Structure 1
Amino acid sequence: MTPLPVVYVSDMEKSLRFYRCLGLAERTRSRSNAWVELSGPDGQLALHRAEGMSPPDPPAEPAEAVAAGRVTLAFVCPGPLEELAQRLALAGFATRRGIADEAFGRSLVVADPDGLLIQVNEHDEELYT
């Protein structure tokens, strides 16, 4: 079984531009453009057009969202986070929290176009070999 997280978005094209910037590629799209499935080297993500839904206010930082039943979206970056941060900035997407040291390596937090906070991790290769 393969997990398929679904993110509800208000602007499909703007969201696609953001998630492509993170390194995901479009895999398939509905005929009505109501949903798109994206894939990366090790996973998938679906975007679904939101209808009458609003994001939670305020969004929790991924590291603070540790309550039971809560889910956060995180990605593992295959390269240096500095390169990703620069790519996001050039595309007009600012990071919400800069690069920080973690027990597993390093991370940064970025908001998608609808304000969903996403943690992007860079693993310490010594821990993951």
Structure 2
Amino acid sequence: MRVVPIRYTTDVDAALRFYRAVGLEVGARSRPGAWVEMPGAAGMLALHRAGEDDAGRCELAFEADEPLAQVADRLRRAGFEPGPVVDENFGESLRVCDPDGVWVQINRHDRELYT
């Protein structure tokens, strides 16, 4: 089984451009263009403890296998402005809004930092 998040969008072409800049490839497409599959090398479901206000919230996140500075540069060239690359206790992360204004998190994990 693999996890397949479905991201609903009002502009498939803009979303396609955005997620290609994140690093996903274009897979199967429906003829009318309302559905596009964007496979990655692997996927996972992450569970994160949350307070009452965040319980039930879902966030789209990707784990990169390349330096996040490269991802940020690719996003800028595609017309999107990511936030800064931030040092985290698990490695690095950056956040960027997709074409519908939804925040997406991109992480690069350093498993040696895990305890």
TM superposition score category, shorter chain reference:
0.7 to 0.9
Q: Give the Cα–Cα distance (whole angstroms) in 2 for the partners of residues 92 and 31 of structure 1.
A: 26
Post-superposition CA distance 1:66-104 (Å, at most 9, x none): 722111010011111111111111111001x31111110
Percent sequence identity over aligned pairs: 49
1:88 maps to 2:75: yes
4+ residue stretches of structure 1 with deviation over 3 A? none
Task: Please state which structure has a larger fraction of its residues in strand.
Answer: 1
CA RMSD of aligned residues (A): 2.1
Post-superposition CA distance 1:2-27 (Å, at most 9, x none): 11101111111111111011111111
Give the C-alpha shift of residue 126 in structure 1.
Answer: 2.2
Contact 2:98 2:104 in 1 (8 A): yes
Secondary structure of 2:26 counterpart: strand
Match of 1:107 in 2: 93
Which TM-score applies when normalising by structure 1? 0.76
Match of 1:19 in 2: 19
Match runs of 1:1-129 below 5 Å: 1-43=1-43, 67-95=54-82, 97-127=83-113
Task: Give unmatched runs, 5+ long, in structure 2.
Answer: 45-49
Q: Which amino acid counterpart does residue 6 of structure 1 have in structure 2?
A: I
Which TM-score applies when normalising by structure 2? 0.84
Q: Give the Cα–Cα distance (whole angstroms) in 1 for the partners of residues 55 and 111 of structure 2.
A: 30
Q: Give the Cα–Cα distance (whole angstroms) in 2 for the partners of residues 81 and 121 of structure 1.
A: 8
